[in-house]
A and B are shown apart, each in its own frame.
Chain A
Amino acid sequence: MTARDAGPALVVPPTLVPMGGRAGFRTLFQKELLRFWRVSFQTVFAPMVSALLYLLVFAHVLESRVQVYSGVSYTAFLVPGLVMMSVLQNAFANSSSSLIQSKMTGNIIFILLPPLSYAEIFWAYVLASVVRGVAVGCGVLLVTMPFVHLSLAAPLWAALFLVLGAALMGALGVLAGIWADKVDQLAAFQNFVILPFTFLSGVFYSMQSLPGFWQSVSRINPFFYMIDGFRCGFFGVSDASPWLSAAIVAAAFVVLAGLALTLLRRGYKLRT
C-alpha cells in the first residue's frame, strides 16, 4: 500500500491532540484578551485617566451644590456612574474595534477559515469585551478611591450589572463591527449613539432631578438602567427598581445577541 492509497489517515500525526469541543472558542477568547492587553496603555490605562479627569472637574464644580441621595455626597454618587460609563464604552470599543481592524486588514480570514461556530465567535468577542470592561471599571474604581469613601450595599447587584452591562455593550460592539465597513462609520456610531446614550443615562445626575418629559425619555434609554442598577449596588437605593433594570438590560442583551448571532450565521458582510 502506498502513502497515497492510505488517504488522510496518515496526515494527522499523533502529536496533534484535539483539545475538545470548546478549544476554538477558548483560543479566540484568549487571543482577544491578549490583543487588548498588548496595547493596555491605550485600552485600559487611558480610560482610567479620562474617568479621573471627569471626577476631578465635576466633583470640584458640583460637590457643594448638588446632593442626589440623602447622606450621599455628589462625588460618591458620581464614582459608580463613571465606573459604569467606562465599563460600557470600553466593552463596546473592544469587540467593535477588533472586528473592524480585522475586516480592514483582511486578517478576519484567520477566524473565518477554521471550524469555529458562529456562537463561539460571538461569545469569544463578548466575553473578551466583558473582561476589558471589568478591568477598566476596576481600574477607575481604584484611581477614584482616594477621593471618596464608598461601600457596597448590595454587591451582587453591582456585579450583575457590571457583567451584564459589559456583555450588552460587547454584543452591540460585535454588531457595529460587523456592520461598519470603515473606521469612520464606527466612530460615527460611537459619537452619535454610544456617547449621547451614556451621557444622558444619569452618570452625572439623578433622573429624579429631570423634568417629567426628560424622565420619560430616560426611561427608554437602556444605558440608564445599567448605570442606575450598578449604582444601587453601592447605595442600596436607585431611581428604578433593580429588578426592573436587570430585566430590561437582560432583555436588551438577548435581543442584541440574537441579532448578532443571526448576522454571523448569515455571514453578513463577512462571507460573500
Chain B
Amino acid sequence: MSSAIELQGLAKRFGAVQALHDVNLTVHHGEFFGLLGPNGAGKTTVISILAGLCRADRGVARVMGHDVVSDYREARRMLGVVPQELVFDPFFTVREALRIQSGYYGLRRNDDWIEEILHNLGLEGKAGANMRSLSGGMKRRVLVAQALVHKPPVIVLDEPTAGVDVELRQSLWVFIRRLNEAGHTIVLTTHYLEEAESLCGRIAMLRAGQVVALDTTANLIRRFHDHVYLRVRLARGDVPESLRDRLTVSQGGVHTLRMEHVREVESLLARLREGGAVIAEMSIEQPDLEEVFIETMRAGAAPAAARSGAAEVSGTA
C-alpha cells in the first residue's frame, strides 16, 4: 500500500525567498511523525501544499496515494489539518460549526462522532456557545475538532498547542494518541520539543526549506549520545574565548558546553575559572531532542535526502 504522505522534489518560492528546496519525505501509515524546524524553515509551507492552500512550483505531494493537485478531492478527504492561525466563523455555535464542516466533507448523521470529539476535547459545555464568546484556548480546541470531524486517515497538527493551557495539551495528546493507536497517521509540528520527543516515532528537521535530519526520534538522540553537556550558571565573568567552540546554548546567564566525555568536566571547570568566570551552579546532562535540534540547526548539516534511505528503513513503523 502507498504511504500516508509522500513528498517528492518539492520546491516553492515566495518572491525572493526560496521557502522549500527539493524536499523529499515519506510518512508511513500509522506513524506519529514530527516536523520540526525554526520559524521560516518551511514547515507550514509543506503543510499548506499538502492541504491545497499553497501550490508547489515543482515536485509532487500525495496524501494516501492521491496527488494533491490532480486528485485534490480525494487527497483532501484523507486529510485533516489543524491550522496554526486561530480562526473561527463568528456566525455559528460550536456544534453548528462542526456540523457544517462535516457537511463540507459530504457526511451526514455525524452527530455521534461530533459528540465524541466534543467530549474528548472538553467542549461539551460549550457546544451551544457562539464561537465569538469562546476563549483562545477553547477556539483552539474547536479548530482541532473541525480537523477531526471527517475522521481523516491523516491528521496534520500545525503547532496545535501554541499558547494553550496545560490541561488542553494533556487532553489533546491523550485523544491524538488514541487516534494514532486506531490507525490514524499523525503529523505534528511544534516548538515544544519535549512534546515531539515523547510523541513522535520519527522526526524530520527542516532548516531554510531543506530536510537536514530525518530519522527515528531514538536514533536522532542516539546520534548525539557520544556527547554530554555541562550546564553552568555564572555568577561573574563569561565563557572564555577558548571554550566558545563548545558552547551550544547561552541564555539568561546559563551556558551549555559540549563535552566528548564526562572526564572533561574538571578541565572545563578549570578553564572557566582561569578565564575569570565564577560558577554559581552546574549540572551534567545527557542530550535530549532539544540538544539534537540545536546542534542540527547550528551544524548546517547536509540535507538528509542522501541518507534518507537508511532513515526510511530504520523509521518504518
| Pairing of A with B | yes
B245 contacts the other chain (CB 8 A): no
Interchain CB contact under 8 A, B100 and A31: yes
Segment 38-86 of A: residues with Cβ below 8 Å from B:
38-39
A11 & B76 in contact (Cβ 8 Å cutoff): no
Contact with A along B74-85 (1 / 0, CB 8 A): 101111010101
Question: Do the beta carbons of B90 and A19 come within 8 Å of each other?
Answer: no
A118 to chain B minimum Cβ distance, whole angstroms, is 10
Taking Cβ atoms with an 8 Å cutoff, the residues of A that contact B are: 3-13, 15-21, 23-24, 26-28, 30-31, 34-35, 38-39, 102, 105-107, 109-117, 267, 271-272
With beta carbons under 8 angstroms apart, the residue of B73, B102, B109 that contacts A117 is B73
Pick from B83, B92, B103, B184: contact of A11, CB below 8 A: B184
The CA-CA distance from A116 to B150 in the complex, in Å, is 14
Residues of A within 8 A of B29 (CB): 4, 7-8
Closest 10 CB pairs of A and B: A27-B103, A4-B30, A114-B104, A8-B153, A106-B87, A115-B73, A23-B106, A115-B76, A10-B183, A272-B54
Check A3–B182 contact: CB distance below 8 A.
yes
Asked if B220 is at the interface (CB within 8 A of a chain A CB), the reply is no
Chain B residues with CB below 8 A from A20, complex form:
106
- Contact partners of A27 in chain B: CB under 8 A: 100, 102-104
Q: How far is the CB of A108 from chain B (nearest CB, A)?
A: 8
Q: Quick check: which of B45-53, B164-172, B272-280, B296-304 contacts chain A, the rest being far away?
A: B45-53
Q: Which chain A residues border B103 with CB–CB below 8 Å? A: 19, 23-24, 26-28, 30-31
Q: Is there a chain A Cβ closer than 8 Å to B89's Cβ?
A: yes
Query: If A16-B151, A106-B87 touch, does A6 touch B183 (CB 8 Å cutoff)?
Result: yes
CA distance A28 to B110 in the complex (A): 17
Given contacts A8-B153, A11-B184, A112 and B53 within 8 Å (CB-CB): yes
Most buried by B among A15, A27, A39, A114: A114
Given the complex, which residues of A lie within 8 Å of B102, measured CB to CB? 27
Within 8 Å of chain A (Cβ to Cβ): is B55? Answer: yes
Q: What separation, in Å, do the CA atoms of A7 and B183 have in the docked complex?
A: 6
